[in-house]
Amino acid sequence: MTALLKTNLGATPLLGQGKVRDLYAVDDALLLVATDRISAFDHVLATGIPGKGKILNQISLFWFDLLKDLVPNHLITAAVSDYPASLQPYADQLEGRSMLVKRAKMFPVECVVRGYLTGSGLKEYRASGTVCGISLPAGLVDGSRLPEPLYTPSTKGEAGTHDENIGYAATEALVGEADAAELRRLTLAIYKKAAQHAESRGLILADTKFEFGRTTEGIILADEVLTPDSSRFWDAAGWKPGGAQPSFDKQFVRDYLESIHWNKQAPAPGLPDDVVERTQAKYLEAFRRLTGRDLNL
């Protein structure tokens, strides 16, 4: 199979393209299409991962269903046969990798939650004993479980830029005290339920991020949810604090790019077949482990 790197839905208005998703306007709704693009170090690579968009889309749909009693979400339908007639000629591009969703006024924050010490949090902890300004006990190492999950919101970085940690007080200033408190409550509640499910499947949910929006019905969960692109999943059986943990994401891609000493400037390079195949297999394994199902690409 070939990778779908760009969608073309004829006269359907294209509102924007993210690193992975294309966003279209469809009447009073939105259409999210997950392509097979893959990014690393804030750049979209020249090579995609065949089927990656379908895997991510199906993982998000799984979580939306599992979490629906905890928080409403933006999903209208993911059944292409139920989409408007204007989209039916493009069913081959949309099947399995798209969802029709409600429009919402999105909150200008990434709702990040960390259950384990790793990544940028580890770097800050080593320098100051804190993560996003929150003091932590001494003696933690790479991969340590935190005493309790930490809510560490960030800004939404523009394309090619990093998200910036902003702290809870800055979130209150951005969205108001009541909404800031509700975003924190929802984020921690979702993380707790998702981490319990992941644990039941032999996985550790080390950290993740959510996006929320507001409709006339209130706050809803939106965008992608608990995918290997937005979350760090580790194999619980192999968890060993004290070093980097292998995760179900694009680590093979990052390792390859480091090995060729790419300067992390555009244009981004392509990937060899073996890196593409191993990365695809990792995403598929994440799907199987989380959902208990196989996915035919």
Using CA atoms, how far apart are residues 224 and 212, in angstroms rounded to an integer? 10
Instruction: Return residue ranges of the chain for CATH 3.30.470.20.
Output: 106-238
Q: Which two tokens stand for residue 57?
A: 């889309």
Q: What is the mean pLDDT of residues 99-125?
A: 96
Closest by Cα among 209, 30, 187, 19 to 105: 30
Domain 7-103, CATH class in plain words: alpha beta
Using CA atoms, how far apart are residues 11 and 199, in angstroms rounded to an integer? 45
At residue 179, does pLDDT exceed 90? Answer: yes
| Residues 222 and 73: beta-carbon distance below 8 Å | yes
Phi/psi zone of residue 102: left (φ > 0), alpha (ψ -120 to 50 degrees), beta?
Answer: beta
Query: What percent of the chain stands above pLDDT 70?
Result: 98
Looking at residue 161, what is its pLDDT? 53
Query: Per-residue confidence at 110, pLDDT binned at 50, 70, 90?
Result: very high
Query: Per-residue confidence at 67, pLDDT binned at 50, 70, 90?
Result: very high
CATH 3.30.470.20 matches 106-238: yes
Which H, E and C letters describe the chain, residue by residue?
A: CCCCCCCCCCCCCEEEECCCEEEEEECCEEEEEECCCCEECCEECCCCCCCHHHHHHHHHHHHHHHHCCCCCECEEECCHHHCCHHHHHHHHHHCCCEEEEECCEECCCEEEEEEECCHHHHHHHHHHCEECCEECCCCCCCCCEEEEEEECCECCCCCCCCCCECHHHHHHHHHCHHHHHHHHHHHHHHHHHHHHHHHHCCEEEEEEEEEEEEECCEEEEECCCCCCCCEEEEEHHHCCCCCCCCECCCHHHHHHHHHCCCCCCCCCCCCCHHHHHHHHHHHHHHHHHHHCCCCCC
At residue 38, does pLDDT exceed 90? Answer: yes
Instruction: Return residue ranges of the chain for CATH 3.30.200.20.
Output: 7-103
pLDDT digits (tens, 9 = 90+) for 203-261: 999 999 999 999 998 999 999 999 999 999 999 999 999 999 999 888 889 999 999 99
Q: Which two tokens stand for residue 294?
A: 């196989």
Strands 134-135 and 130-131, sheet pairing: antiparallel
pLDDT digits (tens, 9 = 90+) for 137-164: 999 999 999 999 999 999 876 554 567 8
Using CA atoms, how far apart are residues 112 and 231, in angstroms rounded to an integer? 10
Looking at residue 162, what is its pLDDT? 61
Give Dmax (Cα) for the chain: 60
